[in-house]
Amino acid sequence: MTRCRFLIVGGGIAGLSTAWHLARAGHGRETVLLEAEPHLASHSTARNAAILRTLSSDPLSTRIALTSADFLRQPPAGFCDVPLVDAKGLVLAAGPERADEIAGWLKAVGETPIRVEALSAARLRALSPAFRAEVAAAWSFPEEGRIDIGALVAGFVRGAQAGGVELCRDREVEELAVEDGRVCGARMRGGEEISADTTVLAAGGWAAGLGSRAGSRVALRPTRRHLLVTAPGPEARREWPVIWYFGSVAEGEFYCRPEGDGMLFCACEVTDVDPNALGIDPDVQGAIATKVARHLPDFAAAGVAHFWCGMRTLTGDGRFAVGPDPDLAGLFWVAGLGGAGMVCGAEVGRIAGRLLTGEPVAPDVETGLSPARLAEMRVGRGARQRSA
């Protein structure tokens, strides 16, 4: 196709969920998705911790996460034939410096229903005996845990295709096509062009570069984070919940969960990165080892089975960027999914699909996610960030 109504750039969770929702609303045959790689969902969407955590510092983001979690727990009929959530539970545990802050996040959720129980030290110990960090307060979210990323991606791909979306792999967009201040499609490597009424930037860490080369002022911050999985050891138990620890302000966060017969660990570092030069930093392995020795000493000597990194693309205020570009007509953003794209991707795609087709969205969501706010906002070190 050389012309379409909606041209989606990027085949990660952001682009695929948007494509699926457009197909579901009857616009599949008017939609083309271009993915640079030979396989869909092979960047951040394939490299994350797959944790379902809904609570964050921002009540609007928590609300979006809770709605998305409902989709994950009860996807529409025919979406997939396996459960998308393994609800072994999620525990948020805070050291003395951050306990009041996390309690405040829960208060701010207000009337929004969220299943949570305060945990005593003894109960936390029973749930996860290997975890020994200094904990001043802990909460258990029994309906949260781990997402089946493969099944989620496959569900979006299958549904989008069945609804008529053309999913094109190995098609790298070199630049957006701009005429008279309007984005009117994209030029691909090799010279092929495709024109579109609306071009949807869902290119993860690459979205900001593509946008700014076309003249957009929307700023995003691609950052790198590493994950480590230990070699199988007798100490790890598959029934342990995800534990997310908020240590002192100086130490920062740390999370872990069982992975097969080993454990997955993250030191929660945030490092700015060039999306085209994403490489592993071996020093982070040392930072993870330090936190593991302190918080789960039984695993201090565990072998390493896998160590990898991926990109989390942040915004200046920690909220996603979903909506039209403030300056360039014909350009629409579904980006800045930060550390919550796997939890929130389903709802983000629904919001994007509705805005693209002129359907109403709750006004606070439309304003709160509008990319216009990011044209003026500082993005960089010190800007707020959230989740995995």
Ligand X SMILES: Cc1cc2nc3c(=O)[nH]c(=O)nc-3n(C[C@H](O)[C@H](O)[C@H](O)COP(=O)(O)OP(=O)(O)OC[C@H]3O[C@@H](n4cnc5c(N)ncnc54)[C@H](O)[C@@H]3O)c2cc1C
The answer to whether 325 and 179 are in contact (CB under 8 A) is no
User: Is 153 among the residues that bind ligand X (CB under 6 A)?
Assistant: no
* Binds ligand X by CB under 6 A, chosen from 19, 32, 50, 69: 50
Whether 198 contacts 330, CB under 8 Å: yes
Applying CB under 6 A, does 12 fall inside the site for ligand X?
Answer: yes
Which one of residues 4, 13, 196, 374 is an interface residue with ligand X (CB under 6 A)? Answer: 13
- Candidate ranges 28-36, 92-100, 155-163, 291-299; the one touching ligand X (CB under 6 A): 28-36
Q: Which phi and psi (to 5°) does residue 274 adopt?
A: -85, 120
Instruction: Name which of 171, 184, 175, 173 is nearest 214 in CA terms.
Output: 175
Q: Which is nearer to ligand X, 61 or 234 (CB)?
A: 61
Neighbours of 126 (CB within 10 A): 10
Residue 273 binds to ligand X (criterion: CB under 6 A):
no
Closer to ligand X by CB, 130 or 256: give it.
256
179-182-186 Cα angle (round to 5): 70
Instruction: Kindly tell me which residue out of 7, 30, 31, 43 binds ligand X, with binding defined by CB under 6 A.
Output: 43
The conformation of residue 241, written as its DSSP 8-state character, comes to P
| DSSP code at position 81 | S
Of these, 116, 124, 173, 331, which contacts ligand X (CB under 6 A)? 173
Q: Least Å distance between CB 35 and ligand X?
A: 5
Judged by CB under 6 A, does residue 225 bind ligand X? yes
Phi, psi dihedrals of residue 88, rounded to the nearest 5°: -80, -5
In angstroms, give the least distance from the CB of 30 to ligand X: 19
Near ligand X in 313-352, by CB under 6 A: 335, 337-343
Q: Among residue numbers 244 through 263, which ones bind ligand X (CB under 6 A)? A: none
Task: Give DSSP secondary structure letters for 90-128.
Answer: EEEEE-TTTHHHHHHHHHHTTTS----EEE-HHHHHHH-
Among 31, 45, 198, 216, indicate the residue that binds ligand X (CB under 6 A): 45
| Cβ neighbours around 97 below 10 Å, total | 15
Question: How far is Cα 34 from Cα 1, in angstroms, rounded to an integer?
Answer: 12
Q: Judged by CB under 6 A, which of 18, 31, 48, 198 binds ligand X?
A: 48
User: 28-62 burial, b for 16+ CB within 10 Å, e for fewer?
Assistant: bebbbbbbbbeebbebbbbbbbbbbbbbbbbbbbb
Should residue 27 be labelled a site residue for ligand X when binding is judged by CB under 6 A? no
For residue 328 the two structure tokens come to 């360039």
The site that binds ligand X (CB under 6 A) totals a number of residues, namely 41
Instruction: By CB under 6 A, name the binding residues for ligand X.
Output: 9-15, 34-37, 42-45, 47-51, 172-173, 202-204, 206, 210, 225, 227, 310-312, 335, 337-343, 388
